A and B are shown apart, each in its own frame.
Chain A
Amino acid sequence: MGVVAIVAAALLAVGAALAVVRVERGPSMLDRTIAFDVLTTILVGAIALEAAWSRRTESIPILVVLSLVGFVGSVVIARFAAVEPEGADAPGADGIPPVSPGEERAALGAERVGEERGGGE
């Protein structure tokens, strides 16, 4: 068990370090969110590994909380922060879905994609 725990911990640590590099590099808010998701998952894995190694159950409630907090975090960022430059007046940016979600937002998205492709890079 000792060797297994060390190898697994090393794998998790390297994975977490790589995810941190991606958090630092970005380039966009969403890339950081994704990398942070990986980090949260690895943190859950590390706590699970500790619980398995020591055969103790006190830390398991932390896993429940972490798995939910990670979800709330990435959804909030996807919903609010991802609409970066001109999204202040976008439908849905205020948390209230527009009247006809499919049509309207798809049109808006396409428009914005077009703009960015035309102007950026």
Chain B
Amino acid sequence: MTGVGQDVWNLVADVLAGACLLLGAFLAFSAGVGVLRFGHLLARMHAVTKPQVLGLILLLLGVALRVRSWSAVAMLALVVAFQLLTSPVAAHMVGRAGFRTGKVRPEDLEVDDLTDERAG
């Protein structure tokens, strides 16, 4: 590969990295907005999963495109894998604990199969 071609690829990678970083940061920002604005516990939980999954993937993709070293990419992939495995577990435990300790008021839910099923 010639020097000029290398430069073009570096530029492309940098631009892609910038786009990834911006989108990831936007998702993290909207998570902050969501966690503040949504009215009750379960709705706020949705705000958390969003930056944790796609936002993190985008931000780390941005890092990988900028750093371009295999050992760093491997470690970033590991971060994403841990996050994908752990974040649903954490979300599920928080949601279940909230539901069982009555943090969710019935008027916050349009449909509630779980309470209906327990009641009847």
Contact = CB atoms under 8 A, between A and B. Distances in A.
On whether A and B touch (CB less than 8 Å), the answer reads yes
Interface of A: 1, 4-5, 7-9, 11-12, 14-19, 21-22, 28, 30-31, 33-35, 37-38, 41-42, 44-45, 48-49, 51-53, 55-57, 60-61, 63-64, 67-68, 70-71, 74-75, 77-79, 82-84, 87, 105-106, 108-110, 112-113, 115-117, 120-121
Interface of B is mostly: helix
13 contacts: A12-B28, A15-B28, A18-B32, A19-B31, A34-B44, A38-B28, A52-B21, A64-B75, A67-B56, A67-B82, A67-B86, A78-B90, A116-B102
B101 A63 contact: no
A42 to B, nearest CB: 5
B35 A22 contact: yes
Interface of B: 14, 17-18, 21-22, 24-26, 28-33, 35-36, 41, 44-45, 47-48, 51-52, 55-56, 59-60, 62-63, 65-67, 69, 71-72, 75-76, 78-79, 82-83, 86-87, 89-90, 93-94, 96-103, 105-106, 115, 118-119
B82 A18 contact: no
Nearest to B72: A57
B63 A51 contact: yes
B100 A105 contact: yes
A8 B72 CA distance: 21
Given A15-B31, A113-B115, A22 B36 contact: yes
A64 B71 CA distance: 13
Given A4-B22, A31-B103, A79-B93, 20 more contacts: A1-B14, A4-B18, A8-B25, A19-B35, A22-B44, A28-B41, A33-B94, A41-B55, A42-B51, A44-B79, A45-B59, A48-B60, A57-B69, A67-B86, A71-B89, A74-B93, A78-B93, A109-B101, A113-B100, A113-B115
